[in-house]
Chains A and B, each alone.
Chain A
Amino acid sequence: MIRLYDYVLSASCYKIRLMAALLGVKLKHEAVDFHPGRAHKSVEFARLNPAGTLPVLVDGDLILTESTAMLVYLAQLLGRDWLAPSDPKSAAQVQHWLAFSGRLAASLGMARLHDMLLYEGNIDAWRAQGHAALRELEAALSERRFAGGVWLVGDAPSIADIACFPNVALSQDGGVSLDAYPSVRLWTRAVRALDRFVEMPGIHRLHELHPAPEVV
């Protein structure tokens, strides 16, 4: 069974939990005391991942420590539809958004860690970089909408969408509002409307897609 070293409040860990849920695969979760225990910085954890970051995915002798690589692995293994079309343009666009998701983590993700887990750093700079990234995402998604599209690459959701979704959907935890980004908001709704979508603290499902509890 594929094991995921996991922390419930981590956007990057959620990325993998969401991908696994959408693919319909169960992972074995190994909870890591990221906060306040900082177990991911321990000597023991460094044997698994010298970089001391989460998540870590282990399948047999394969150890992956980058979340975008985990998305590629899970999709190649279990659901190649999620890789987007393999023509040169689409393949390059997927790589673009996988790399771009790193910029989201370095801006919106850090702003959230600052506000939620008291990370020290330049919060104004993180928020400004977050807005700059959201402007790029908004422009790209608006162009996709003009062409009749919904997703970042191709006609179906792909690992590109899943890579970018968590830190965008959690941006308000870091003091960055999505009010000024209508195409981004509609795209986050499209992700949340996917069959088998799972939540994390700060990202709720679309309640309107389910009956009101009292009339069940």
Chain B
Amino acid sequence: MTPRWTATGLSQDLPKAVAMAGHWQGQDLAVWRSATGRLQAWNDRCPHRGMRLSHGFVRGETLACIYHGWVYGAEGGCKHIPAHPALTPPATIRVAVFACVEQDGVIWVAPADTLGAPTALRGLQPLRSISLTCDVAAVLLVEPALSGEDTLRGLVQIAGQACEVCLLVQHGASGLTLHALCAVGADRIAASRWLEDLRRRAERKGTA
């Protein structure tokens, strides 16, 4: 069974007051962090005209749609419609909210009613998120030291040294994304080059 918590990005790539695109099992999400640092994941669609809210902008504790500026606050409720400044938006104008937590420098999403927490990843630091045009099988084929299905782990050789790595698998409409972590204290530039090399080798081996 696919775990409900899915990694959709790394904390380092989502500073305060920034929105980005994420997804949970094919469902597009707007993942954003408020000015005070509160993290949220919503359906990536403005109820007004369907624009992606991940293209929007954060002001304080709200996310505004880039198209007509509709403003959404905590729990996805519409707070303000610029074209009707005197109107209190009805409570029915609401964006679907997902569960969103960050742990070990990874941003995880799940349906709103999900209980429990994602698996803890000890002794690892976030590296990079990369997309690939091949499937997981090709990655495992070119790097036999890795094993797993939704979480690929193993001790690999990076710049001549054994290094623990962890690749969190995310499947999306546009292909495979790996959110990579490496051992705390490892040289991240060397690890990033290893990751680039792994992608090139895996993509040459086979496409999904």
The answer to whether A179 and B189 touch across the interface, beta carbons within 8 angstroms, is no
A146-B189, A208-B57, A208-B59 as given contacts; A213 in contact with B20, CB under 8 Å: no
Question: Does A186 sit within 8 A of B, measured CB to CB?
Answer: yes
Q: Is the CB of A186 within 8 A of B189?
A: no
- Contact indicator A182/B13 (Cβ below 8 Å): yes
Within the assembled complex, what's the spacing in Å between the Cα atoms of A127 and B189?
27
Contact A207–B192 (Cβ < 8 Å): no
A189 to B, closest residue via Cβ: B18
**Chain A interface SS verdict (over half):** helix
Q: Which size bracket describes the interface of B in this complex?
A: 20 to 34
Enumerate A183-216 residues with CB–CB distance to B below 8 Å: 183, 185-186, 189, 204, 206-208, 212-214
Q: A residues within 8 A CB of B58? A: 208
- Which residue of A147, A180, A206 is within 8 Å of B177 (Cβ)? A180
Residue A51 interfacial (CB < 8 Å): no
B188 adjacent to chain A (CB < 8 Å): yes
Whether A182 lies near B9 (C-beta < 8 A) is: yes
Question: How many Å lie between the Cα of A183 and that of B20 in the bound state?
Answer: 12
Contact among B10, B15, B82, B174 with A179 in the assembled complex (CB-CB below 8 Å): B174
Given contacts A207-B64, A214-B85, contact A180 B174 (CB under 8 A): yes
Q: Does A155 contact B (CB under 8 A)?
A: no
What chain B residues lie within 8 Å of A142 (beta carbons)? Answer: 128, 192
B20 touches A143 (CB 8 A): no
B21 contacts chain A at the CB level, 8 A cutoff: yes
Task: Please state if B82 and A213 are interface contacts (CB–CB under 8 Å).
Answer: yes
Check B192–A139 contact: CB distance below 8 A: yes
Contact partner of B131 (CB less than 8 A), chosen from A145, A180, A183, A208, is A180
**Residue interface mask B13-38, A partner, CB < 8 A = 1:** 10101101100000000000000000
Q: Is the CB of A183 within 8 A of B130?
A: no
Min CB gap A14→B, angstroms: 19
State whether A185 and B20 are in contact (beta carbons under 8 Å apart), knowing that A207-B57, A208-B58 are contacts in the complex.
Answer: yes
Q: Which residue of A lies closest to B14 (CB)?
A: A182
* B113, chain A: closest CB distance, angstroms: 27
- Judging by beta carbons under 8 Å apart, are B85 and A182 in contact? no
Q: In the complex, what's the smallest C-beta–C-beta distance from B133 to chain A, in angstroms?
A: 9
**Does B143 sit within 8 A of A, measured CB to CB?**
no
**8 Å CB interface, B59-82 against A:** 59, 64, 66, 82
Q: CB within 8 Å of B: which residues of A?
A: 135, 138-139, 142-143, 145-147, 177, 179-180, 182-183, 185-186, 189, 204, 206-208, 212-214
Write 25 A-B pairs (CB below 8 A) sorted by A numbering.
Answer: A135-B196, A139-B192, A139-B193, A142-B128, A142-B192, A143-B189, A143-B192, A145-B12, A146-B188, A146-B189, A147-B189, A179-B21, A179-B174, A180-B129, A183-B13, A186-B13, A186-B18, A189-B18, A207-B57, A207-B66, A208-B17, A208-B58, A208-B59, A212-B59, A214-B82
Q: Told that A139-B196, A142-B128, A185-B20 touch, could you supply 5 new A-B pairs with CB distance under 8 A? A: A146-B189, A204-B66, A207-B57, A208-B59, A214-B85
